[in-house]
Amino acid sequence: MILRRPSAGEISSDNGRKTPLAGESLESVPWYKRIPLRLHLALLTALMVAIAVGMVVLVTYLAVSSALTANLDQQLERQASVLLERADESLTPSELEDEIATFKSYNPLTRVSISPPGWAFSSGDPIPIGGDFIDAGDRSAQTIRTVGQERVIAVRDDLGFTVVVGQDMFELRQLTSSLGSMLMAFMALGIAVSAVAGVVVATAGLNPLWRLQRAVDYVTRTDDLRPIPVIGNDELAQLTNSFNAMLATLGESRQRQAQLVGDAGHELKTPLTSMRTNIELLMMVYRPGAPNTISEQDRKELEHDVLAQMEELSRLIGDLVDLAREDVPETVSEEVSLDAIVGSALVRVRRRRPSVEFDVQTIPWLIKGDEFALGRAAVNLLDNAAKWSPEGGCVRIRMLQLSDSWVELSIADSGPGIPVEDREQVFERFHRAAEARSMPGSGLGLAIVKQVVLRHSGSIKVGESADGGAEMIVQLPGYPDEP
């Protein structure tokens, strides 16, 4: 199995085949995107080696060819210089012929021509001089050129003696051709070896990815969220660590979901059972022909109890929905006024708790976040404080700027307060103290508040108010609302 990330125009189907996106056929995907990753790596390795070996072969060929040509030039230049020195001592044509014959007896592959100053002809082989002479020092000048398959060097001294030597380059070119063929064979062998090595390296390098893929397939197939063993400390090990962290987060989310469902089922069971009993009793009373066994007062109390239980059930379901919403990460982020949110929440709570006084001192403060979630948290805090305050009690709301980027919102009530040992547990889901069992509520309000505050990078803690009640202290980031 080849592990490859689907391209931008593909998705992976359940059977592992690469399926194009809507409106795009498999044939429209470029061929190079359909090549397996292992072959991609092997081809890339072979290409890189081919480029490197090709550059080495080219440089080697040019360097060796230039060195052989330079060596031939030096040899011909030495021969021409020796003949030029000998020609200065031999001025007669017969002596020049003898000198040339002696030279060619030792150098049978070299042609030579000598032209003394003032002569209208030259002795030796018919070699055209040609080319522009360049000063070579030692009172001489020379020219070097290639005529057909022959390398020709002409040397002239300051007296006018000219010596021209030439040698066929067939053997030299044959040698360089053999060298080029050998280097090309070496390059082909290197590419083949690099391709095989690329496949081996790609296979070995992708083994951890295949192991990770098998682990992912196992999680998908069995729903087992156990962490994957981490081997080494390289990038693939870091990828495995990241995947394990994702599995851990998924496991925690699943555990919270299961806990929420279990707690919700437990909490919903009590009001549903009580409401069902009361409804069945009312149905028996209103059944035609049934004896009237309860008084009018008892009937009204039953109806009141049913309505109260329905309201409690509705509130519990709303809290569960809010809590589930807070479990899902939200991206809503806008600039909102915290003091305006507190004021809006205060209007709603005052309507429900008219017997409690509210002492409010706020400051203009802006925060980036979810206005709906912050409003729900403020309502829960104020409603909780008003619920625990006695009739005629006072709920004190204060906003205090701690720094240029932090504000503190404190809400103190006049109730019995929260014991120190219970202050951390009040933010747990469905937690209700023993003295709160007789009061309406689901035990989810403060849990929702904590989740909202944490999602806005803030903090919340429980303290004691000046008159012995409870004080909720919330710290949130933001900045002052400048007029």
Helices (H), 90-169: 93-106
Residue 431 covered by a domain: yes
The C-alpha angle with vertex 211 and arms to 208 and 217, in degrees rounded to 5, equals 145
Query: Among residues 302, 326, 350, which one ends one of the domains?
Result: 326
List, in sequence order, every residue forming a beta bridge with 357; answer none if it has no partner.
394
DSSP string, 432-469: --GGGTTSS--S-HHHHHHHHHHHTT-EEEEEE-TTSS
Residue 273 covered by a domain: yes
pLDDT at 319: 67
pLDDT for 426-467, tens place per residue?
777 665 554 544 455 556 778 888 888 988 899 999 988 888
287 and 387 housed in the same domain: no
pLDDT at 398: 94
378-415 exposure pattern, b = at least 16 Cβ within 10 A, e = fewer:
bbbbbbbbbbbbeeebbbbbbbeeeeeebbebbbbbbb
pLDDT at 33: 66
Which residue, among 287, 202, 211, 278, has the nearest Cα to 243 in the 3D structure?
211
Residue 296 covered by a domain: yes
Which amino acid makes up residue 474?
V
Q: Which two tokens mark 255?
A: 């555990």
> What total of structural domains would you count in the chain?
3
pLDDT at 6: 43
pLDDT at 244: 85
303 and 425 housed in the same domain: no
Q: What is the pTM of this model?
A: 0.45
300 and 379 housed in the same domain: no
pLDDT at 437: 46
pLDDT at 162: 83
286 and 376 housed in the same domain: no
Q: 143 and 194 in contact (C-beta within 8 Å)?
A: no
435 and 465 housed in the same domain: yes
> What Å distances lie between residue 480 and 32, 249, 366, CA to CA?
57, 36, 6
363 and 439 housed in the same domain: yes
Residue 390 covered by a domain: yes
Q: 195 and 189 in contact (C-beta within 8 Å)?
A: no
Which residue, among 429, 218, 448, 242, has the nearest Cα to 326 in the 3D structure?
448
pLDDT at 11: 39
The C-alpha angle with vertex 373 and arms to 369 and 379, in degrees rounded to 5, equals 125
pLDDT at 104: 81
Residue 72 covered by a domain: no
322 and 423 housed in the same domain: no
Residue 1 covered by a domain: no
Residue 24 covered by a domain: no
pLDDT digits (tens), the chain, 483 positions = 334 444 444 434 444 444 444 445 556 667 666 677 777 777 787 788 888 888 888 888 888 888 888 888 888 888 888 887 776 665 677 777 888 888 888 888 888 888 877 666 677 788 877 777 777 666 677 778 888 788 888 888 777 788 888 888 888 888 888 888 888 888 888 888 887 887 787 777 777 777 778 888 888 888 777 787 777 777 777 888 888 888 888 888 777 777 767 766 766 776 777 778 878 877 877 777 666 667 778 778 778 778 877 876 776 777 677 666 655 555 567 899 999 999 999 988 888 788 899 999 999 999 998 888 898 889 889 988 988 888 888 999 999 999 999 999 999 998 888 888 777 777 776 655 545 444 555 567 788 888 889 888 999 999 888 888 899 999 999 999 876
Identify the CATH number of the domain in which residue 465 sits: 3.30.565.10
pLDDT at 290: 63
Euclidean distance between CA atoms 400 and 380, whole angstroms: 20
381 and 459 housed in the same domain: yes
* Strand (E) or helix (H) holding 240: helix 235-286
Q: 187 and 47 in contact (C-beta within 8 Å)?
A: no
370 and 465 housed in the same domain: yes
pLDDT at 327: 56
Identify the CATH number of the domain in which residue 299 sits: 1.10.287
270 and 389 housed in the same domain: no
Q: How many residues does the chain have?
A: 483
Query: Among residues 172, 203, 218, which one ends one of the domains?
Result: 172
Euclidean distance between CA atoms 19 and 101, whole angstroms: 84
The C-alpha angle with vertex 34 and arms to 29 and 39, in degrees rounded to 5, equals 155
pLDDT at 361: 93
322 and 431 housed in the same domain: no
pLDDT at 411: 93
149 and 88 housed in the same domain: yes
Query: Among residues 291, 326, 361, which one ends one of the domains?
Result: 326
pLDDT at 291: 64
Euclidean distance between CA atoms 164 and 31, whole angstroms: 62
Residue 346 covered by a domain: yes
The C-alpha angle with vertex 292 and arms to 287 and 293, in degrees rounded to 5, equals 115
Q: 144 and 129 in contact (C-beta within 8 Å)?
A: no
For 271, the domain range is 263-326
Euclidean distance between CA atoms 266 and 138, whole angstroms: 114
